[in-house]
A and B are shown apart, each in its own frame.
Chain A
């Protein structure tokens, strides 16, 4: 619901406010704890974390090997950890394989490195279609891949969360890791964009 004056907003907004007040009255939650949780996810998680991981892998072959072998440990070593990121597998895009991530059953997503998922990732259209017709879905994101490119879709059905290691763009040999990180997009790390 992206519109600023969506009439549906009133119902859930009231419902959630009433629920919070009741839960506070019951002593089950504290409002300041909710503030801290929101602030944490907005400030300390997000795609810039994932971008730093990708840029380091692009510039440090040993780190890249570690990241592909044991994603969780290599990511934890950069200070990114926590709920929905306990077990992360990093899958590498190559000249022959393109990876795309989904959770068809709910909305599983690697929170510490990408933040909370965007609305489209949670949408019935994405969840239903990307496992069946990934090329058509990628086309809607403006991504067109050669026919011979193998597309691997990773459906996050258990406790492992996935992060795509995109291909490093050509002509970036002279860039630092920090400059490279600026090129890396969230969708690139889901697999719905190329970098």
Chain B
């Protein structure tokens, strides 16, 4: 099912939760909507589900205007952040609830409950059908919630921060399983999360929201590599924001009005006094600390009044360093044509496909 929202607006008192959202959710794709708390992503999901009526704008599902339709008439299912499994019902009764309301014969209800439990790989857990939610782990509850949603074979699956109550390890595993499940079923899915890593890893299409608006949408790789907006650049990845502009020779000049954005993984730390590498912007700095994060070491480098993060494979000792970033990896939102041109001219020889500089 293709879902389109046009100029959606919703206010709660003085707060505009949605301020003119227009977007098309492609058929059969998993769209992750990501943004900070209060950006309107959950409100957007609840508008799609039919639990919130927009003040303005329309919702179209496969070309049909469903803005005024109640939730049950939209052929969609919502997985709630807290799973909302009814605690007094068994797993079977929870999953069968929607099917029984559709007055399916009991043998079909049974078959479809088992099919749904198999899809979420709970069929191998002994006695799962007769257990109550409190007797399940967080991960199992999450899968039951998914099974309950897909048992009614919705054409649109809505997931509201479905992994936020799980610990990190289970979250990573279930994330992969949700992705695989979506691929198997081909249900158009909208996945709301505040976790950028989760959104980047799971989505076919990434939608970044801020202040009730869609700031940028596209393939996760494109949005990450080519942010069109300082907010997106800052929100995705471990992004450094360094006040300043680029002078002749690639040296970063501290200035109040300029802002250079670059990611921690793009920063190279060289011994103090080293010649600046070609095709890089650079500045002296002082390593004040270095933390082991598991996959990488993160050094914290003081540059003027700003602390810059730099990720590397090896630990770095505190002391003076030369901080360098490939010019093609610097995102310049300063609006300073001269500075931007300096970065552009330095990066001209590099592969244009990896360039990320964007003017606002």
Is chain B a partner of chain A in the same complex?
no
> Could you tell me which A residues sit within 8 Å of B by CB distance?
none
